[in-house]
A and B are shown apart, each in its own frame.
Chain A
Amino acid sequence: MAGRIRTTKKLAQRIDRGYFRRLFPIPFWRRIFSLLVVGVCLVWLGFHAAAHDESPYSSGPLTVQHAILGGNCASCHGQGLAVGRRIKDQACLSCHDGPVHNAAQTFSPACVECHVEHKGTERLIAAQGSQLCTSCHSNLHTRSGKTQVAANIESFTHGHPEFSVLRSGAADPAAIKFNHKAHVGDLSQKCGDCHHAGGGVNDGAGAAGSPRGVMRPVGYQEQCSTCHPLSFDDKIPDAAPHDKPEVVHEFVTRKLREYIAGHASELGKAGTPRNAAEWVRSQVEVDEKQLWTTTCDRCHTLHPAAGAGLPSVPETKISHRWFTKAKFDHSAHQELQCVSCHANAASSTKASDVLLPGIRTCQECHGVAAKASGECSTCHLYHDWTKGRPVDGKFTIKQL
C-alpha cells in the first residue's frame, strides 16, 4: 500500500481547468442581489415618479408651512437643469411679501441667503446668525455713502450704538404730569399695579412680537380712576368721562339738567337762580371751572380757549415702545425685578424722565458668552414691515 501521496501534478489534475468560467453561488447571488437592490430602489423612485411626486429627491424635510409644496420641486426650484442655481426671489415673492430692509442698502441679498429650507419641519425658516447682518454692518456702505448711526457694528457688545432715545438725550415727550416717586415711593405702589404686560400692538412688527411682550399702555380708566376720580359736583355722584372737553361739557350739562329736574326745590335757594335753565348754566360754569383748573390739570396741561369756549387737551404722547427698530419682550425678562433695569423709576419725579435702561444694562447679559443671546435677530427684524404690501395669490388649490 503506497498510501496517498499528494503531488502537485495529481492535485492539479483533479481540477477542471475551465472551472472559473462557470458561475458559482456566491457570484451568482451577488449579481441577483445587485439587480434586486437596484431594482427595488428604482421601483421606489419610479412609483413616486409615476405619481408625479418628487418628494424622494428632497434634500430634507420642508417646514410645515411649506410641506404642501414637497411633491413639486418645480414650484420653487423652477424647471430645467440648474447647476448651482439658487431659488429665485420671484419664487418666494409669488406667495410672500419681502419688504426691503433699508432704502439705502447697496444690495439686497437673495431670500434663500437667510431663509433656508429643507432643514427639518420644526426649524425656523429664517434662522439667522449675526454673521449675515454683520457681513454688511461691520463695515456699512450705503447708497449715499453716508451712514446715519454706526458704520461698524461687529456685534451687540462691539460697536452697537446706544438706544436712539438715550443717545439723543431727549426728554420723554409725554405731555402729562406724572410723578413715579410719589406713586412708588410715597404711596408704596408696585410697578405691576399700573404696568401690565400684554400690550401687544400691531405696530408693523408683524406676528413676531409677542402680544405679551410689550407693556400695555397705562390708561386712566384702569390705572388712575380709582384714586383720581373725575368728580365735578358734590350733588352728582357720577364722575365725568375721561374724554375730550366737549364730551365732558355735554356730560356735565346733561347730568345737571337731570339733577335739577328732580330737585326743583333747590331752585332759588341761597341766592341761586330760580330758573332751572339758568341754574344749570351757572352750575356748569362752576363745575367746569373746577374740572378745567383742578381735576384735569392734575395730569394734563389744558390750553384755555380764547374767549368763552372750552379748553383743549393736548395729545399726551405717551411712548408705548421706545425702540423704533427693535423689539423687546418684557415677558422674556419677567424673572427680573423691574427696578433692576428701570433703576430710576422709584426716584423719578417728572414725566419727562426717560426711564429706559441704557444699552449697558442689556449688555450685562446679552452678548456675554453663556448668558444671553447677542444675536441681531434677538431684537431686530430684517424686513421693514412698515413697507409691507399685500400679495396677490397666484395659485389655485389644485395647483398646490
Chain B
Amino acid sequence: MFTALVAFLAALAAYVPYSLTSRPRGGSALGLTYGITGYGIMLFAGLLGARKKVPVWRLGRAQSWMRGHIWFGLLTLPMILFHSGFARGGPLTSLLMLLLCVVFLSGLTGAAIQHFVPGLMKSMVPLETIYEEIPRVREQLRAEADNLVRLCFRHPEGKLEPALVSAPASFPRAASGTEPEEMVEMEAEEREYFRDVYGNMILPFLKNPGRRESVLANTEKAGAFFEALRRRLPASVHGSIDDLENICEEERQLSRQQSLYLWLHGWLLVHVPLSIALIVLGGIHAVEALRY
C-alpha cells in the first residue's frame, strides 16, 4: 500500500545518512525509532488476529486490516534491520532476528498460497463444501448412498443388511417414508452381483474415502468402474449407479479439498505461533534493552 511504501522510503532515506555518519545502534534515537516503529508494526500485524476475534466492531474494514497487515508487515524486516544496523546481536536478538525472518518468509509464502490456492480450489473442487463440515457431509453422502441401494436390495421390512450400511446409525436417514418404495426390478443374479460390488468396492471407499489405493479414489478408474457396472446391470438401476458415481465423485473432491485446505491454512501453523513468540520476546527485548 502507499503509506507503507512512503514509510519505507522515509525510513530508508533517514537510514542512509545515519549509517554513514555514525555507527547504527539500536539504542540511538533513530535506532530506537526504527525499533519502536518495527515493533509497533509487529503489534499492529498481530492485532489482525485480535481484530478477527471481534469482526463486528467497526474498526475499519477487515480488508484494510489485511492489506495493512501485509504491507506494513513487509515493512518490519527493513525496519528491524535498520534498527539492528544489520548486525545479529546477542542470543536473544539473534533469536528475534531468526523468528522475524521465519515469520516474514512464512507470511510471504502464506500470502502467495492464499493468492493462488483459492483459484486452484475453485477449479479442482467444484463441489467443495465447508472444510469443517466435511465429515458431516460425508456421513450424509453415505446416508444418501444407503438410501439409494436400499431400493435395490433391501429386506422385506425395508431395512438394509447391516453389512451394507455405511452411514453411522446415529445419523438420520433421509426421509423416504412418505414415498411409496418399490423394489427395483432385477434378476436375482444381477442383484447378487450388485450387492457384491457395492459391499466390496463402493462401501469401503465411502467409509474410508481418504485411502488412495481404492479404485474409486482415481477419477478415471472410477469412471471405467462405473461404466463397467452399468454394462453389467440392467437399466433399472442405472439411475442409482449414476447417483453412486456422483457421490463417489463428491467424496473424491472433498478429499482433494481437504488437502488443498491444509495448504491454504497450514502455513499459519508456522506463522501465527512464531509471530506470537516474536511479539512476546520482542517485548522482553524492549524491556531489557531499555533497562540497560
The verdict on B121 contacting chain A, using a C-beta distance below 8 Å, is no
Contact count band on B: 35 or more
Q: Kindly specify which of A9-17, A98-106, A242-250, A311-319 makes contact with the partner chain.
A: A9-17
**Are A11 and B280 in contact, with the CB atoms below 8 A?**
no
Q: Chain A's nearest CB lies how many Å from the CB of B213? A: 24
The verdict on A369 contacting chain B, using a C-beta distance below 8 Å, is no
CB-CB nearest in chain B for A80: B291
Q: Chain A's nearest CB lies how many Å from the CB of B179? A: 11
The verdict on B77 contacting chain A, using a C-beta distance below 8 Å, is no
With A60-B93, A82-B291: A30-B26 Cβ-Cβ less than 8 Å: no
Please indicate the chain A residues that have their CB under 8 angstroms from the CB of B157 in the complex. none
**Are A61 and B90 in contact, with the CB atoms below 8 A?**
yes
The verdict on B1 contacting chain A, using a C-beta distance below 8 Å, is no
With A41-B95, A58-B91, A60-B90: A22-B132 Cβ-Cβ less than 8 Å: yes
The verdict on B274 contacting chain A, using a C-beta distance below 8 Å, is yes
Q: Chain B's nearest CB lies how many Å from the CB of A37? A: 4
Please indicate the chain B residues that have their CB under 8 angstroms from the CB of A45 in the complex. 92, 281, 284
Looking at B29, B140, B288, which has the most chain A CB atoms within 10 Å of its CB?
A: B288
Please indicate the chain B residues that have their CB under 8 angstroms from the CB of A57 in the complex. 90, 92, 284-285, 288-289, 292
Interface string of B214-247 (1 = CB under 8 A from A): 0000000000000000000000001110110011
**Are A60 and B92 in contact, with the CB atoms below 8 A?**
no
Distance, CA A376 to CA B92, complexed state (A): 36
- How many residues on the A side are at the interface (Cβ–Cβ under 8 A)? 46
**Are B242 and A1 in contact, with the CB atoms below 8 A?**
yes
Distance, CA A77 to CA B290, complexed state (A): 11
CB-CB nearest in chain A for B137: A14
Distance, CA A3 to CA B266, complexed state (A): 36
**Are B276 and A14 in contact, with the CB atoms below 8 A?**
no
**Are B291 and A11 in contact, with the CB atoms below 8 A?**
no
Distance, CA A36 to CA B238, complexed state (A): 55
Distance, CA A51 to CA B217, complexed state (A): 58
Please indicate the chain B residues that have their CB under 8 angstroms from the CB of A16 in the complex. 133, 136
Distance, CA A6 to CA B141, complexed state (A): 12
Q: Chain B's nearest CB lies how many Å from the CB of A125? A: 13
CB-CB nearest in chain A for B274: A37
Please indicate the chain A residues that have their CB under 8 angstroms from the CB of B273 in the complex. 30, 33-38
**Are B130 and A15 in contact, with the CB atoms below 8 A?**
yes
**Are A60 and B87 in contact, with the CB atoms below 8 A?**
yes
CB-CB nearest in chain A for B277: A37
Distance, CA A144 to CA B290, complexed state (A): 39
Please indicate the chain A residues that have their CB under 8 angstroms from the CB of B29 in the complex. 84
CB-CB nearest in chain B for A132: B22
- Residue contacts A-B, CB under 8 angstroms, 16 given: A1-B243, A3-B239, A14-B137, A15-B130, A16-B136, A19-B132, A33-B270, A34-B272, A45-B284, A56-B92, A58-B89, A73-B291, A80-B291, A81-B290, A84-B32, A116-B23
Residues of chain B at the chain A interface (Cβ within 8 Å): 21-23, 25-27, 29, 32, 87-93, 95, 127, 129-133, 136-137, 140, 144, 238-240, 242-243, 246-247, 262, 265-266, 268-270, 272-274, 276-277, 280-281, 284-285, 288-292
